Amino acid sequence: MLLFEEKKTVVIEQEIKNSTPIKISHSNSQDNVNRIENMRKSLTTYVVVGGGFAGVETIGEINDFIKESIKDYYQNIDIKDVRVILINSGSRILPEMDEQLGNFALEELKKKNVEVILNNRVIDVESLSEDNSSEENQLSLRGPKKISLKDNSYIIADTLIWTAGVVPEKSVINIACEHDKNGRIVTDKYLQIKGFKDTYAIGDCAFIIDPKTGNPYPPTAQHAIREGQVTAENIITSLKKELKSSKVIEIKENEQKKGEFIESGKKEYLYKTRGIMATIGKRNGVAMIFGHSIKGIFAWGIWRFFYLTHLPTLENKIRVMIDWGVDLIFGRNLTRLKSPIETKDMIPRKNIGK
Ligand SMILES: Cc1cc2nc3c(=O)[nH]c(=O)nc-3n(C[C@H](O)[C@H](O)[C@H](O)COP(=O)(O)OP(=O)(O)OC[C@H]3O[C@@H](n4cnc5c(N)ncnc54)[C@H](O)[C@@H]3O)c2cc1C
Q: What's the CA gap between 294 and 309, in Å, rounded?
A: 19
State residue 1's pLDDT score: 31
Q: Are 277 and 286 in contact (CB under 8 A)?
A: yes
Q: How far is the C-alpha of 202 from the C-alpha of 208, rounded, in Å?
A: 8
Which residue from 208, 219, 128 is spatially nearest to 167, judged by alpha carbons? 219
CA-nearest residue for atom 4, ligand 1, is 54
Burial-class residue 78 by CB neighbours within 10 Å (0-12, 13-18, 19+).
Answer: exposed
Q: In the chain, which residues fall in CATH 3.50.50.60?
A: 6-162, 170-257
Report CA(35)–ligand 1 centroid distance (Å). Answer: 41
Taking the centre of ligand 1 as the mean of its atom positions, its distance from the CA of residue 45, in whole angstroms, is 28
Rounded Cα distance between 277 and 57, Å, is 10
- Note the residue count of the chain: 354
Measured from the CA of 222, which atom of ligand 1 is nearest? 11
**Model pLDDT for residues 163-183, shown as the tens digit of each residue:** 997 789 999 999 999 999 999
- Give, for all 354 residues of the chain, the pLDDT tens digit: 333 333 333 333 444 444 444 444 555 677 778 888 888 899 999 999 999 999 999 999 999 999 988 888 887 888 989 999 999 999 999 998 889 999 999 999 999 999 999 999 999 999 887 665 556 556 667 789 999 999 999 999 999 999 997 789 999 999 999 999 999 999 999 999 999 999 999 999 999 999 988 989 988 888 999 999 999 999 999 998 877 755 445 545 445 545 455 566 889 999 988 888 999 998 999 999 988 999 999 999 999 999 999 999 999 999 999 999 998 888 877 777 777 777 776 666 666 666
DSSP summary character for residue 163 = -
Ligand 1 atom at shortest distance from the alpha carbon of 228: 25
Ligand 1 atom with least separation from CA of 204: 26
Give the amino acid at 40: R
Q: Whose CA is nearest to atom 30 of ligand 1?
A: 204
| CATH of the domain spanning 170-257 | 3.50.50.60
Task: Give the nearest ligand 1 atom to 203 CA.
Answer: 26
- Pick the closest to residue 118 from 110, 127, 126 (CA basis): 110
- Region of 167 please: left (phi>0), alpha (psi -120 to 50) or beta: beta
The alpha carbon of 54 and the centre of ligand 1 are apart by a number of angstroms equal to 13
- Of the candidates 268, 168, 179, 280, the one whose C-alpha atom is nearest the C-alpha of residue 219 is 168
User: For residues 162 and 59, is the Cβ–Cβ distance under 8 A?
Assistant: no
How high is the pLDDT of residue 353?
Answer: 62
Task: Give the nearest ligand 1 atom to 58 CA.
Answer: 1
Domain 6-162 has CATH 3.40.47.10: no
Pocket test for ligand 1, best of 204, 226, 229 (most atoms within 8 A of CB): 204
Task: Report the separation in Å between the CA atom of 17 and the middle of ligand 1, taken as the mean of its atom positions.
Answer: 37
Q: Tell me what pLDDT residue 240 has.
A: 86
Tell me the CA–centroid distance for residue 189 and ligand 1, in Å.
22
pLDDT of residue 21: 42
By DSSP bridging, strand 275-279 and strand 285-289 are antiparallel
Q: What is the pLDDT of residue 139?
A: 62
Q: How many angstroms is it from 225 CA to the middle of ligand 1? A: 11
Give the model's pLDDT for residue 96. Answer: 84
Q: What's the CA-to-centroid distance between 266 and ligand 1, angstroms?
A: 26
Q: Which atom of ligand 1 is nearest to the CA of 221?
A: 11
User: Measuring from atom 52 of ligand 1, which residue has the nearest CA?
Assistant: 54
Q: Cα 309–315–317 angle (5° rounding)? A: 25
- Measuring from each residue's beta carbon to the nearest atom of ligand 1, which residues come in under 6 Å? 53-54, 169, 171, 203-204, 219-222, 224
Apex CA 344: angle with CA 340 and CA 350, to 5°? Answer: 135
Which residue has its alpha carbon closest to ligand 1 atom 40? 169
In the chain, pLDDT over 90 holds for what percent of residues? Answer: 55
Residue 204 CA to ligand 1 center (angstroms) comes to 7
Amino acid at residue number 240: K
Q: Which of 53, 170, 200 maximizes ligand 1 atoms within 8 Å of its Cβ, making it the mutation to test the pocket? A: 53
Cβ proximity of 158 and 144 under 8 Å: yes
pLDDT of residue 11: 37
The CA distance from 148 to 122, in Å, is: 6
Please state, in angstroms and rounded to a whole number, the distance separating the CA atoms of residues 309 and 215.
Answer: 30
